[in-house]
Amino acid sequence: MSPQEDQIIVEHTNINPNKAAHIGHLRNAVLGDTLVRVLRGLGHRVEVQNYIDDTGVQVADVVVALTEMERLSEDQISRLLAVGAERLAAAGHGVDHDLWDLYAKVTTWYEYDASRLAHRGRVLHALERREGPLAELGARLAAEVVRCHLSTMQRLGVHYELLPKESDILAHRFWDTAFARLRESGAIRLVDEGKAAGCWVMNLPHDEQADDSLQYEKIIVRSDATVTYVGKDIAYQLWKFGLLAADFEYRPLTGFAYESAEPVWETARPGEGSSPTPAFGRGECVYNVIDVRQSYLQRVVRQSLELLGHTAQAERSVHFSYEMVALSPQTALELQPGLELSDEERSRPWLDMSGRKGLGVKADDLIDRLATKALDEIRERNPQLDAPAQEALARQVAVGALRYYMLRFTRNKIVAFDIDAALAFEGETGPYCQYAAVRVARIVDKLHERLGWGVGEVHQRALGARFEAIPDQIAVDHWRLVHQAARLPEVARVAIESLELATLAKYAFELAQAINGFYHRFPVLQERDGALRDARLAVLLVADRSLRQALDLMGIEVPERM
């Protein structure tokens, strides 16, 4: 598949629209966004989708929490949403933060009286039918929380082009088409007896290591005719490849705008779309960025394509899996004041988080804390800057620290996030890489100050450098850095082929190390020989260009100073 002919779809983030995003969602978003950036850097056309499960249990639970547990009136709920929208517009945190604790409380509320689960069932049916006040409330809540999530991810430079909604998969009857094809092909069958009696199931090996003769019945349609999550996902995957002979309607998302003014589109119900709209879907290759716990369900989706005869699409249906994110005990204590940990818990390498149990850290809170700690460092290093400039630099450092930390570990490794380790200016961190690029920029600035050169003249001198001016005994050290800088395209290709973006992070760190080592061994500013100085400057600028490109592929900005 050549970059000129392909259309790649990357689906990532996919947060349930029921409460604030947490740190685990950040790893998904950073991995997905970096995957998109690297694919585009290699010349591919990429469409970025963020699937919104607006009819699921999680949304039903917050509806129940507001209407049954808290007994809020329609006016009170409307006021809650309005106040949240006002806070969000003022660069604060929206209703997603208000729902964080409420979602945890409703789980306990169910446990006290199991009969209360009937409320969840009633709301779920309303959401799937898309009828009545409960369905309307669920749609309003989900829409507002989605805007909050988009705002959170925009803080990290993560953007999306399309938000496909599960409710619209139902409204456009995608599943009906998919079900008919699965049934006619024999990919699914109706069970007559046993625990799965009345269900439509797909036979699959129990796991990747199991013998093919050992079959496992995966329920696709329950006996009450409701469709499981994986059933809707099969229909969605067929649409992404352009295999349904059906399409959504689309409209621009209202109530949210990217700072860049680029539009974000959402799917719409029949008759509610805009015209004209961009063309979406019809991918030649699809990457689904979903954590490792969803591996089996992703196998079901891929197997469904094979059973329907779409072998080529099944091979290009890629599950980009990754392990969970936890917190180091020290960071958990810092981010959750009042958290009580036993001695045994304090000695663990990480602490598991659970949204339903109320144990977790909001993504916004982590970003805020990183920015606050980065600001302390920036103020100490740059006391001459005014407050807005210091805060802008701190945001760049904080985002760089977070994104690099999420990328530096291989995807099959659990990330135990540690704030102090992520923000360190020494070692394998985002700030260390940023600082190496800033240091090269300072060399250019000082040449301008000392010699009166303009920035353009500095680069012109580097372009015209005579490399024969470099003594033979040290020439190999100069060319080694140039060669290392030239490896970026190869590293990017390997990162995609292996689905290991940590390869790119490692490359950026090692290149930053090499730049710093070269800078110390072969000073530019102190070199009196003009020809040799220009040659060294050229080597540094070549390496700096590759470092900045690698950081850009990871979504990490280079500040003007640090």
Residue 363 scores a pLDDT above 50: yes
Residue 214 scores a pLDDT above 50: no
pLDDT tens figures, 232-255: 899 999 999 999 989 999 999 999
Residue 17 scores a pLDDT above 90: yes
- Identify the pLDDT of residue 4: 42
CA distance 28 to 149: 13
Average of per-residue pLDDT values in the chain: 90
Distances from the Cα of 124 to the Cα of 192, 309, 348, angstroms: 26, 33, 39
Mean pLDDT to the nearest integer, 112-120: 94
Residue 468 scores a pLDDT above 80: no
Residue 229 scores a pLDDT above 50: yes
For the record, the structure tokens of 432 come out as 């260390």
Percentage of residues of the chain with pLDDT beyond 90: 68
Q: How confident is the model at residue 207 (pLDDT cuts 50, 70, 90)?
A: low
Q: How many helices (H) and strands (E) in the chain?
A: 22, 12
CA distance 399 to 363: 12
Q: How confident is the model at residue 212 (pLDDT cuts 50, 70, 90)?
A: very low
Is the Cα dihedral 217, 222, 225, 230 positive or negative?
Answer: negative
pLDDT tens figures, 485-529: 999 999 999 999 999 999 999 999 999 999 999 999 998 888 888
pLDDT tens figures, 44-101: 999 999 999 999 899 999 999 999 999 999 999 999 999 999 998 888 899 999 999 8
- Identify the pLDDT of residue 349: 75
- Identify the pLDDT of residue 92: 82
CATH architecture of 430-553: Orthogonal Bundle (1.10)
- Using only the alpha carbons of the chain, give its radius of gyration: 26
CATH 1.10.730.10 domain range(s) in the chain: 430-553
Reported pTM:
0.92
Mean pLDDT to the nearest integer, 397-405: 98
User: Which residues contact residue 447 at a Cβ distance below 8 angstroms, ignoring those fewer than 6 apart?
Assistant: 453, 458, 524, 525, 537
- Identify the pLDDT of residue 408: 97
Least confident window among 387-391, 488-492, 536-540: 536-540
Residue 123 scores a pLDDT above 50: yes
- Identify the pLDDT of residue 342: 76
- Identify the pLDDT of residue 446: 87
CA distance 231 to 221: 7
CA distance 399 to 216: 44
- Identify the pLDDT of residue 286: 98
- Identify the pLDDT of residue 189: 92
Per the model's pLDDT, the better-predicted residue between 357 and 74 turns out to be: 74
Mean pLDDT to the nearest integer, 526-535: 85
pLDDT tens figures, 264-286: 999 999 999 998 899 999 999 99
pLDDT tens figures, 143-199: 999 999 999 999 999 999 999 999 999 999 999 999 999 999 999 999 998 888 999
Residue 356 scores a pLDDT above 60: no
Q: How confident is the model at residue 208 (pLDDT cuts 50, 70, 90)?
A: low
Sheet with 46-49: list strands edge to edge. Answer: 249-252, 265-268, 162-163, 46-49, 8-11, 285-289, 317-320
CB of 244 closer than 8 Å to CB of 220: no
CB of 230 closer than 8 Å to CB of 178: no
Residue found under tokens 């740059």: 382
- Identify the pLDDT of residue 205: 62
What's the residue count for the chain?
562
For the record, the structure tokens of 473 come out as 């005994």
Least confident window among 39-43, 270-274, 325-329: 325-329
- Identify the pLDDT of residue 353: 65
Mean pLDDT to the nearest integer, 109-121: 94
Cβ count within 10 A of residue 466: 11
Distances from the Cα of 234 to the Cα of 152, 190, 243, 245, angstroms: 29, 18, 11, 14
DSSP code per residue over 361-380: -BHHHHHHHHHHHHHHHHHH
Helix (H) or strand (E) holding 46: strand 46-49
pLDDT tens figures, 402-453: 999 999 999 999 998 999 999 999 999 999 999 999 999 999 888 888 877 7
- Identify the pLDDT of residue 359: 59
- Identify the pLDDT of residue 104: 86
**3 state SS of 268:** strand
Judged by phi (left if over 0) then psi (alpha if -120 to 50, else beta), residue 445 lies in alpha
